[in-house]
Structure 1
Amino acid sequence: MAFGRSVLIIPVLFCQCILGLAEPETLVCGRVVGGVSAATDAAPYIVSLQAGSVHYCAGSILNANWVVTAAHCLTSKSQVLSSTLVAGSNDVTGTASTTQKRAITSYVVHSLYTGGIAPYDIGLVYTATAFQWTSAVKPVTLPSSGVVPTGSADLYGWGSTSTTTVPSYPTMLQVAKNIPIISESACVSALGTKGADVHSTNICTGPLSGGIGICTSDSGGPLVQTSNGETILIGIVSWGKIPCGQPNSPSVYVQISDFISWISSNQ
């Protein structure tokens, strides 16, 4: 399911990111379950997509004018073009003195994305007013094309932290550190019938013991690794199960390394 919050959003089995239409029991677009409040400026590349001052998805800054997010966050043209990108603030309300807010000028959705919990769940958002680089607002680094991530990674988001069907949204940015990347086969097996929706261009994280993972309104947000002092965006939150954080409920992301050429050609 894609995860989104009540505005219109989309895939939650997971995703229904039409501000907040999540399907029952099923899957969601996410918030970080099992995380803790992130340190100030810990993720200066993350942005909150907000409609009417309500957070519904996240994204990552690629450069001064472009943000990458999940395609399912961009299914409503009217919602997207009336939304605001909020950067530079761990507080989702954007009250920090370092906050930068930008209007969305246009956007691009991958042509192979068919909606819901489907592969190619990636999109780009353009703002004509460039972000200004500060300690609180910086671009993330993209991985090399074709590299398959292994080991562990860090997940950031403002999604629901609830492990029940009733969402609970944090005000402060959350982070779950060192969560394990699991194999495609383990991901497919754990998801049961929904495992058929996992594609070779996805990446999954555990732990399969539960307690940590994406949830509603984490959609579009970053899964990152740090290498040689650089923060590398390896995944975009796509979909997962609800209730969030249950055993055998891996989180599913778009694997960014499979879309480097697409990103380059669509900016």
Structure 2
Amino acid sequence: MAISSLLLSLLFCLFHPVFANLDYAKIAHRKIQNGQAADITDVPYIVSILIDPNDDGNFVHTCGGAIIDANSILTAAHCINDRKHQPGIFKVRAGSTFNKNGGQVRDVIKMIIHPNYQRSTFDKDIALLFLSSLPLIKT
């Protein structure tokens, strides 16, 4: 866990000023602008963060994330902030180009949001998700 704490601290320091000048209120509802389609083989470290918003077993894509190691995912704090005390309503799908099928799905068992995350400005908009004991493996 010491390595995870060190990594979390390092990531918070790195991401602190990165998006300070963006007006997130104007762009938060939009999709990626001027992006291009990518296959998972081009970006194997990208995952889909899934949420069960109604607690009915119907998980839907809510955000993206990046694999840090076999059990840790880096994502944005705004993706989980309202449900930060409910890790059981989140899952992660890795290894699939699609957010509804394929790849591997793991339960989120713990979440850490940057302690100084500011919802109103999106300052320090970073979080870690820790996955169930089954690690993400390359297939």
Counterpart pick for 2:124 among 115, 120, 127: 120
Q: How far did 1:74 drift?
A: 1.6
Query: Against the structure 1 CA distance between its residues 121 and 130, is the aligned structure 2 distance closer, same or farther, given a 3 Å change threshold?
Result: same
Alignment match, 2:60: 54
Normalising by structure 2, report the TM-score.
0.69
Letter in 1 for 2:135: A
Match status 1:133 vs 2:138:
yes
Offset from partner CA, 1:3-54 (integer Å, 9 cap, x none) = xxxxxxxxxx536xxxxxxxxxx33165322223213411111111112321
Is the Cα contact below 8 Å between 1:113 and 1:121 reproduced in 2?
yes
Q: How far did 1:87 drift?
A: 0.7
Higher helix share: 2
Q: Percent identity?
A: 29
Structure-to-structure mapping, 1:187-202, within 5 angstroms: none
Is the Cα contact below 8 Å between 2:84 and 2:111 reproduced in 1?
no
Q: How far did 1:83 drift?
A: 1.4
- Give the whole-Å Cα distance in 2 for the aligned partners of 1:33 and 1:104: 29
Alignment match, 1:84: 91
Is the Cα contact below 8 Å between 1:49 and 1:56 reproduced in 2?
yes
Is the Cα contact below 8 Å between 2:40 and 2:46 reproduced in 1?
no
- Give the whole-Å Cα distance in 2 for the aligned partners of 1:120 and 1:82: 23
Counterpart pick for 1:14 among 24, 42, 48: 24
Counterpart pick for 2:69 among 60, 63, 69: 63
Q: How far did 1:119 drift?
A: 1.5
- Listed as ranges, the gaps of 5+ residues in structure 2 are 1-22, 52-57
Normalising by structure 1, report the TM-score.
0.38
Higher strand share: 1
Is the Cα contact below 8 Å between 2:87 and 2:109 reproduced in 1?
no
Match status 1:32 vs 2:32:
yes
Counterpart pick for 2:80 among 44, 54, 74: 74
Query: Against the structure 1 CA distance between its residues 30 and 104, is the aligned structure 2 distance closer, same or farther, given a 3 Å change threshold?
Result: farther
Counterpart pick for 2:109 among 105, 108, 113: 105
Q: How far did 1:69 drift?
A: 0.5
Aligned length: 110
Query: Against the structure 1 CA distance between its residues 79 and 29, is the aligned structure 2 distance closer, same or farther, given a 3 Å change threshold?
Result: farther
For residue 72 of structure 1, give the secondary structure of its aligned residue in structure 2.
helix
Offset from partner CA, 1:142-199 (integer Å, 9 cap, x none) = xxxxxxxxxxxxxxxxxxxxxxxxxxxxxxxxxxxxxxxxxxxxxxxxxxxxxxxxxx
Query: Against the structure 1 CA distance between its residues 27 and 35, is the aligned structure 2 distance closer, same or farther, given a 3 Å change threshold?
Result: closer
CA RMSD of the aligned region, Å? 2.2
For residue 28 of structure 2, give the secondary structure of its aligned residue in structure 1.
strand
Large movers: runs of 4+ above 6 Å: none
